[in-house]
Structure 1
Amino acid sequence: MEISGEVASSHNLNSTMYKVPQKQPYRTWYHFQPPQCWMNDPNAPMYYKGVYHFFYQHNPHAATFGEKMVWAHSVSYDLINWIHLDHAIEPSEQFDFNGCWSGSATIIPGKEKPVILYTGIDDKKHQVQNIAMPKNPSDPFLREWVKHPQNPVMTPPSGVEVDNFRDPSTAWQGKDGKWRVVIGAQNGDEGKVVLYQSEDFANWTVELKPFFASDNTGVCECPDFFPVSINSTNGVDTSVQNQSVRHVLKISYLRLHQDYYFLGKYANEDGNFTPDVKFTGTSLDLRLDYGKFYASKSFFDHAKSRRILWGWVEECDTSHDDIEKGWAGLQCIPRQVWLDESGNRLMQWPIEEIETLRDKHISIVGEKLVGGSILEISGITASQVSKLLLYFVTFFSF
């Protein structure tokens, strides 16, 4: 058993936005969370001009889920210590009058300019897809964002419910030069992922055949589609398509409130994704996590050639208690993701930067643990600790 005391990471505040409650005994210093109020889905994580960006769904007015969500924005140089900036995207137009909901970022090659696709709920309560761009791309902090004049760039197509059409993925560019993006949807009890194509990132056409579908699951939220290397633990850019990669489609099933993923083959020529197996609704299905973990979002960190995964941890109490303490929700520790040697499932491990928070190290080796016993560990004074447990179990035959 190895235990390390923790050095608190810093979450520096933009003083024009927040006042931090003084007494917060149950706030974490290890996981990302906003200074106060409600947080849920991670949105558009990316690495740009030497800075890590993290956007997230946020209700800035209360520690409960809100009807008009905004995109909050934080930046970091190391994924550990964060600076909270002003909101990136807020409801302001007819196409996002009822909230700016989840989406993703894509960095356009050549121009090296990030573009955000996000879901807006318009004044008719229809879910539509919109574009936001940085006002000043030379600013590494990307403090200001402007909305595209053609918004909305996608509206609910035929066969999709107008209030279940959301969460555009990071786009990828095919060998034909066209951009493609997938969006979560629903029609009755059928969950869908629909595929759109564009030559200029502003004018999009929908493919009539669903990119993915599953019966009796309801809406497929927060789809994430990306390649993983067959022969390396390194990550690859979202647009990579060759014989050295497999593809992953991640779905957040709202009814189950869990994140499932499917490995399979992607054919750029016809835009088809063929998963190895279908969704069964049983324990055989692959999940990213078995705890409180939802609406995950990955990105390719080209600075360290790795794919990093974020996920929302619904760390909530009763509404009354959340309001009393002033916050609800946090993010999981960022994880590096890669394909295991069998090629049949994903592997995950906390990013290496987390180890910089470790301070005093205590090691206990060779202890025999008896059922129901208590092993006291002395010498720990930190309020938070990191534990690594290795068990060797003797199996008995009867």
Structure 2
Amino acid sequence: MKLVVIGLLCLSTSALAVEQKWSGIIDLSVANVDGTQSYLKGGLGKFRANNGTQLALSQFGLSHHLELSDKWSTKIVANGYWDNVDDGIGITEAVVKYRGLPTDSGYRVEVQAGIMYPNITLENLATAWASPYTLNYSAINAWLAEEVRHTGVKIGITRLGKFFQSPHSFSFNVEAFTNNDTTGALLAWHGWTQSSRQTLWHETIPVPHLPQFDGVLKGQAKQSDPFIELDNRLGTHISAQWTWRGKGRLLAGYYDNNANTKIVKHGQYAWRTRFHHLGVKWRLPARVEMIAQYMKGDTKMMAPEGFDAVNNDYQSANILLSRRWQKHTVSGRLEHFSVTDNDEMVADNNNESGRSLTLSYRYRIQRGWFIHTEFNWVDSERQARTSIGLPKHLIERQWQLATRYFF
């Protein structure tokens, strides 16, 4: 994988006679949190920031797009974060892409290879995987940002409606990937989050500071490596999309990392993680945009003795409504999320149930420059909190004020 990144970097730096484009985002914010220690510091807090008030460079994202020809291109995305919670800078995406010309029969083939997100999100479509709607991601997208990325190849075919005098287009994608074997560990142990932090490709994330990691789960490394390859097996993700021009789109898919749960290396266990996902993005009357997503799946980790150390079901659903007029954009999102612990490991209780509300307002100062304020409210129950002296039921709140510049 390092060779892929190095190769893409070499292409980017040596490109003199081809078309290239730089774009980016600078997000400077202040956040006030009424909650508990952030999951990024090994706590069970749902937010990226710790309790209290913090000033941060929440995101400095840079994307380089290189057009090698009318069919071939590359994209490298780097992100930096300076928030006194989890500072870091590094690569988050690096791909080479082939986009064929439409055939006479109205079909287009696309191929993409490298470090990439699975084709799931309907919100995080701005530069460097930022969301133009809210400062915090939905729970589903926060999980994707943390540990659901991989090295892979994606092949897609699209039936273009305009070739058939139709507003309807259909596409089908197949992805085969590696570097994803611990996916599910962080969702199991700290639960769903409401964050805006993307894990950098070289980073590891602390597992929560819970008693079981000094007891029944002491074999687990203190840092989870979300992009490690342990079993040399390919995972798959298939997705299909229907697009109605001028109206919206519907996206559905199935993900299976195909991990061998008998494998453990240096405290990193392979987790078998699978899920279905469904999303819709639609234009409603009164210039209101709606985005709704649903995910349901399971994840499993096996102890060296051969029994299930972790066996969880999980699901999350959300709906976002957004309206833009003149220089103003107002967005609101409701969510529900849960984790159901099915194993018999009493000392490691991963049960969780919660709901959340996000209210966001954005004002455009000038092209690419915005003032953004947001309120986040998360009401959740998680039994594991009681093992570190926190209440099972906790309401966490966050206020954010940010200035964001897209270039």
TM-score range relative to shorter protein: 0.3 to 0.5
Instruction: Give the TM-score, by structure 1 length.
Output: 0.32
As a proportion of its length, which structure holds more helix?
2
As a proportion of its length, which structure holds more strand?
2
